[in-house]
Chain A
């Protein structure tokens, strides 16, 4: 019996809206797959692109970023920064050969537990369909051949 591929998704969730939404999903017994590992940031604007890159390079098959809806950011406008960074990062990732489904941005208010749980479920299935990313395999290289030293003929003769 073949084992089903279980994607590993890293979820960067902002403390104020979306982390509470995830909490709410839990207390509402709205299930979402255990494939996602949540990492709490104070704000989606805290997300440096390196977090996403490191997650993918480190073995994640996908990354989800969640934050407050535009206009509802606890720190006023920083989720706009997150949005701009995410949009530009997606274009860069596409050039790196990473399928768009592997990185997803979700706005979710503290009350939207069901919505967030559904997004997570959808994403897990989308990434499952794509298969493992296996970035360690992508970045590895062929081994070097030993170069046989050529036979040198002719000795040095002093002038």
Chain B
């Protein structure tokens, strides 16, 4: 069989390769999304002191170290049976919101947007953040850079370092903030709201304003019906820092809602010999392979999933953006909830809705009366034994689980990381994109292969994190237009 390799995949975090096999007829027989990396945190963290874990596990990922740091810190709370003071929880969540503002910005502008702003089949040398800046202008580029800069500044101020923060402790946080720092952060948080609205506008103009892109988003090649997972607060609104895990089925009905510590009753992981990355699935449904549908245990945990699994956003502007997104994509309300959106590329939009929520939430927390309270530590009084800590990483629900001896030395570690949740749906998305794009006689250009890669990019994968496979052919016409609306390319298949 003929084989096409995409190696390595690019504009994501981590390592991966895609193998596409073509049969005699020139159609895609199968694709395999392989993750060739593994570092082994679950084993080498055994024997480490528990309180060092926030500073060790954050090196699972340097793009989202804050997520691991936070999940790990919360795991320590559970392990040591200690409840941090309210001010500490707010400080942590505020810090976490700043991180979301920086991280979602990076993904949209540097990783995802090049495909839309510069064009999916533009020359490879231009399909990157620098190409985006050349296209949209240095002023916008500087705004993106400024957003990251000011939020990493907050991360360093509150967490110690801009990359790999260190302040998480069981029972709290190592340092409180002063009123002076609070004022500086408040100004930054408000700028974030403006920037998030600005980013949504760019999405509207560049992506939604381009019929070719809209068709791409709505196309079957990039559509999957799976279960969706996210963390929700007591009002079933999206929350990144804490809450219950909620899973909805492809039709939008609540399938499960559980406390993070119960994850093993709901999730199991499947192993294939051709990838270092495992495939989580819903235990109660079972592993049926890389297939869609209500009878398959495959689930998804992305910004789109979080929105699908929730009843809405907890802050006003984000809620407005949420409703606009669901209405625009044709979602109907059933029993007061929007039906899930199954178009995986819509995750790029959902990500910006979340960016707006993170910014608004950051303002809420930084203006909270308690946020400068100097008491951010609860003393430890109990012996450690076992604990689970969970947050929403930008790329999906993140679970840390530690077991320790009496002295707080770890005896066992289990991690289910954001992108790991998405291993199965990513495989499936890549396969349907390849099947949709490559046929007998198709000239397989580098740009076409990039469109196959776009199928995973909307998931914003993070394979450093994670390490620790469709139905039929649909008629597809993709019309690519440039910024002036002129047609630059038309691709057709089956029509």
Contact B445–A157 (Cβ < 8 Å): yes
Q: Mark B1-39, 1 if CB is under 8 A from A, else 0.
A: 011110100000000000100100000000000000000
CA distance A153 to B444 in the complex (A): 8
Q: How far is the CA of A155 from the CA of B47 in the complex (A)?
A: 52
Q: Is the CB of B3 within 8 A of A153?
A: yes
Residues in A neighbouring B4, C-beta threshold 8 A:
152-154
Nearest CB in chain A: distance from B127 CB, A: 13
- The smallest C-beta distance from A62 to any residue of chain B, in angstroms, reads 24
Complex contacts, B445 vs chain A, CB 8 Å: 154, 156-157
B443 within 8 A of A: yes
User: How many Å from the CB of A80 to the closest CB on chain B?
Assistant: 27
* Interface presence of B320 (CB below 8 A): no
Are A154's CB and B3's CB within 8 A? no
| Neighbouring B residues of A159 by C-beta, 8 Å | 121, 123, 447
- Tell me if A151 counts as interface (CB < 8 A to partner B): yes
Q: Are A156 and B3 in contact (CB under 8 A)?
A: no
Residues from chain B with a CB closer than 8 A to the CB of A157 are 443, 445
8 Å CB contacts to A: which residues of B428-481? 443-447
Chain B contacts for A150, CB-based, 8 A: 3, 5, 7, 19
Note all chain B residues with C-beta closer than 8 A to A155. Answer: 443
- Whether a CB of chain B sits under 8 angstroms from the CB of A28 is no
Chain A proximity of B326: nearest CB distance (Å): 37
Say yes or no: is A95 at the interface (Cβ < 8 Å to chain B): yes
A residues near B121, Cβ cutoff 8 Å:
159
**Interface 1/0 per residue, A141-159 and B, CB below 8 Å:** 0000000001111111101
| B7–A151 CB distance below 8 A | no
**For residue A151, which residues in chain B have a CB less than 8 angstroms away from its CB?**
2-3, 5
CA distance A155 to B448 in the complex (A): 12
Contact A153 B22 (CB under 8 A): yes
Identity of the chain B residue whose Cβ is nearest the Cβ of A150 in the assembled complex:
B5
Q: Which residues of the other chain, A, contact B2 by a CB distance below 8 angstroms? A: 151, 153
| Contacting residues, chain A, for B444 (C-beta < 8 A) | 153-154
Q: A154 CA to B47 CA in the complex, in Å?
A: 50
Assess the A156–B446 pair: CB atoms within 8 A. Answer: yes
Contacts of B7 in A (CB 8 A): 150
For window 56-95 of B, CB contacts with A under 8 Å fall at none
A150–B21 alpha-carbon span in the complex (Å): 11
Between A and B, how many residue pairs show CB distances below 8 Å? 27
Please measure, in the bound complex, the distance between the C-alpha atom of A51 and the C-alpha atom of B484, giving whole angstroms: 71
Q: Which residues of B contact A95 (CB under 8 A)?
A: 47
B480 to chain A, nearest CB (A): 11
A149's closest neighbor in chain B, by CB? B5
Across the two chains, which residue of chain A brings its CB closest to B47?
A95
Decide: B443 and A152 in contact? CB cutoff 8 A.
no
Are the CB atoms of B5 and A154 closer together than 8 Å?
A: no
**Min CB gap B23→A, angstroms:** 12
CA distance A155 to B449 in the complex (A): 12
Give CA–CA (A151, B1) in the complex, Å. 10
B410, chain A: closest CB distance, angstroms: 14
A135 to chain B, nearest CB (A): 20
A152 to B444, CA, bound (A): 10
State whether B19 touches A154 (Cβ < 8 A): no
Alpha-carbon gap, A157 to B445, bound state (A): 6
For A153, A155, A156, A157, the residue with the greatest tally of chain B CB atoms inside 10 Å of its CB is A153
The CA-CA distance from A88 to B303 in the complex, in Å, is: 49
Kindly report which residue of chain A lies nearest to residue B19, judged by CB atoms.
Answer: A150
In angstroms, Cα B121 to Cα A159, docked, is: 9
Specify the chain A residue showing the minimal Cβ separation from B445. A157
Q: Tell me which residues from 117 to 159 in chain A have a Cβ below 8 Å from any Cβ of chain B.
A: 150-157, 159
A156 to B4, CA, bound (A): 13
Which residues of the other chain, B, contact A156 by a CB distance below 8 angstroms? 445-446
Minimum CB–CB distance for A32 against chain B, Å:
38
Contact between chains at B47 and A152 (CB < 8 Å)? no
Kindly report which residue of chain A lies nearest to residue B121, judged by CB atoms: A159
* CB proximity of B415 to chain A, nearest CB, Å: 23
A156 to B443, CA, bound (A): 8
In chain B, what residue has the closest Cβ to A151?
Answer: B3
Could you tell me the distance between the alpha carbons of A95 and B22 in the complex, rounded to whole angstroms? 51
B446: chain A residues at CB < 8 Å are 156
B19 CB contacts on chain A under 8 angstroms: 150
Residues on B with beta carbons closer than 8 Å to the beta carbon of A153 = 2-4, 22, 444
A154 vs B442: C-alpha distance in the bound complex, in angstroms?
9
Residue of A nearest to B443 (CB): A157
Residues in B neighbouring A154, C-beta threshold 8 A:
4, 443-445
Q: Which one of A154, A156, A157, A159 has the highest number of Cβ atoms from chain B below 10 Å of its Cβ?
A: A154
The residues in B between 304 and 339 inclusive whose CB is less than 8 angstroms from any CB of A are none
Residues of A within 8 A of B22 (CB): 153
**Assembled-state Cα–Cα distance A95/B47 (Å):** 9
Q: Digitize A13-33: 1 where CB-to-B-CB distance is under 8 Å, 0 elsewhere.
A: 000000000000000000000
Measured between alpha carbons, how far is A155 from B2 in the docked complex, in Å? 13
Q: How far, in Å, is A13 (CB) from chain B's closest CB?
A: 34
Closest to B438 in A: A154
Residues of B within 8 A of A152 (CB): 4-5
Shortest C-beta distance, B15 to chain A (Å), equals 13
CA distance A57 to B58 in the complex (A): 32
Can you list 7 residue pairs at the A/B interface with Cβ under 8 Å? A151-B2, A152-B4, A153-B4, A156-B446, A157-B445, A159-B123, A159-B447
Extra A-B contacts (5), CB below 8 Å, given A152-B4, A159-B121? A150-B5, A150-B7, A153-B4, A156-B445, A156-B446
Closest 10 CB pairs of A and B: A154-B444, A150-B5, A153-B2, A157-B443, A153-B4, A151-B3, A157-B445, A150-B3, A156-B446, A154-B4
